[in-house]
């Protein structure tokens, strides 16, 4: 049994006062554990990986590896981030983000990680997605982030599980046709993955709790997160003898 559970992801995995997500429902189901939640709205897989590796590295100073459990929900592969020491100078939130830029470490002197999403309008996002973004390249980056995290956790013997927020995080068509993607994809240890496509897909097709017909928002409600936690995450953790 773990003593501390570390969770990671994007807005599907944040702990917030307006919607109980799966980390909240997991902590409610197992309140005896300590929880370290690293989810941040809009962040991509690079920052999900960096937050997990940093927080777990800190916990290893006081915990045995077997006393930890890491649960990660990966986000969209088209999200991006970059590091800069200076303040990026965001004065107005024109893109509906909650935290940008963010820091990964606790050091107040550390630089900033700037979050970019494909549909944002700030100058950094426009420059990146207008000039440098490539769909296959973004998938390669995401798989590298997943592998780095997987190998880090395996190196330290830390129990973990992974899943995705939608099935489009690892689209099968690109994986099957491109060698530069496939050789990386084949290194992922899917024995540790919840094989339901993604939380959104499972909720939509199997939860029995429908999204409003006119809704364009794919974020699950608290009830939908609860169903996913109770019917998917917890049974999978039990099947691995992690609970």
Q: What are the pLDDT digits (tens) for 42-72?
A: 999 999 999 999 999 999 999 999 999 999 9
Q: How confident is the model at residue 215 (pLDDT cuts 50, 70, 90)?
A: confident
> What region, left, alpha or beta, does residue 12 occupy, with left being phi > 0 and alpha being psi -120 to 50 degrees?
alpha
- What pLDDT is attached to residue 177? 74
pLDDT category, 213, cuts 50, 70, 90? Answer: confident
Residue (of 100, 2, 4, 18) closest to 52 by Cα position: 4
Instruction: Please give the pLDDT value at position 133.
Output: 97
Categorize the per-residue pLDDT at 216 as very low, low, confident or very high, splitting at 50, 70 and 90: confident
- For Cα atoms 208, 212, 218, give the angle at the middle one, nearest 5 degrees: 85
pLDDT in tens, 12-25: 999 998 899 999 99
Q: Quick one: pLDDT band at residue 86, thresholds 50, 70, 90?
A: confident
Residues contacting 240, CB < 8 A, separation 6+:
159, 161, 192
Q: How far apart are CA 152 and CA 159, in angstroms?
A: 11
Digit-coded pLDDT (tens) for 146-169? 999 999 999 999 999 999 999 999
Say if residue 95's pLDDT is above 80. Answer: yes
Q: Which pLDDT score is estimated for 176?
A: 76
**pLDDT value at position 14?**
97
Q: Compute φ and ψ for 179, nearest 5 degrees.
A: -65, -35
33 or 92, higher pLDDT: 33
Nearest to 48 by CA among 98, 76, 101, 8: 8
d(CA 90, CA 221): 30
Alpha-carbon span 149 to 48, nearest angstrom: 9
Q: pLDDT tens digit string along 122-146?
A: 999 999 999 999 999 999 999 999 9
| Percent of the chain topping pLDDT 70 | 100
The residue extents of the domains of the chain are: 4-77+133-239
Q: Would you state the pLDDT for residue 31?
A: 97
- Window from 63-72, 83-92, 130-139, 215-224 with minimum mean pLDDT: 83-92
Residue 214: pLDDT over 80:
no
The two structure tokens encoding residue 170: 């690892």
173: confidence class by pLDDT, cuts 50, 70, 90? confident
pLDDT digits (tens, 9 = 90+) for 176-206: 778 899 999 999 999 999 999 999 999 999 9
CATH of domain 4-77+133-239: 3.40.50.1110
Whether 50 contacts 58, CB under 8 Å: no
CA distances from 31 to 4, 25, 28, 107 (A): 11, 10, 5, 30
């Amino acid at each position: 049994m773990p003593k501390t559970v570390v969770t990671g992801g994007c807005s599907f995995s944040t702990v917030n006062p307006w919607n109980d997500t799966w980390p909240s429902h997991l902590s409610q189901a197992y309140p005896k554990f300590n929880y370290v939640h690293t989810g941040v709205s809009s962040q991509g897989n690079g920052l999900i990986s960096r937050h997990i590796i940093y927080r777990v590295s800190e916990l290893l100073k006081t915990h045995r590896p077997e006393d930890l459990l890491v649960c990660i929900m990966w986000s969209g592969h088209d999200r991006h981030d970059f590091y800069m020491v200076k303040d990026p100078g965001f004065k107005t939130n024109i893109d509906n983000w909650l935290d940008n830029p963010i820091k990964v470490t606790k050091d107040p002197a550390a630089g900033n990680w700037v979050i970019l999403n494909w549909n944002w309008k700030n100058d950094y996002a426009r420059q990146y997605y207008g000039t440098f973004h490539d769909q296959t390249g973004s998938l390669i980056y995401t798989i590298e982030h997943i592998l780095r995290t997987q190998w880090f956790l395996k190196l330290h013997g830390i129990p973990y599980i992974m899943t995705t927020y939608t099935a489009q995080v690892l689209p099968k068509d690109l994986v099957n046709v491109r060698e530069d993607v496939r050789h990386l994809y084949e290194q992922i240890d899917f024995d540790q993955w919840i094989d339901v496509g993604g939380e959104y897909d499972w909720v939509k097709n199997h939860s029995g709790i429908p999204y409003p017909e006119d809704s364009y928002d794919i974020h699950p409600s608290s009830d939908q997160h609860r169903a996913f936690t109770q019917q998917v995450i917890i049974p999978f953790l039990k099947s691995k003898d992690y609970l």
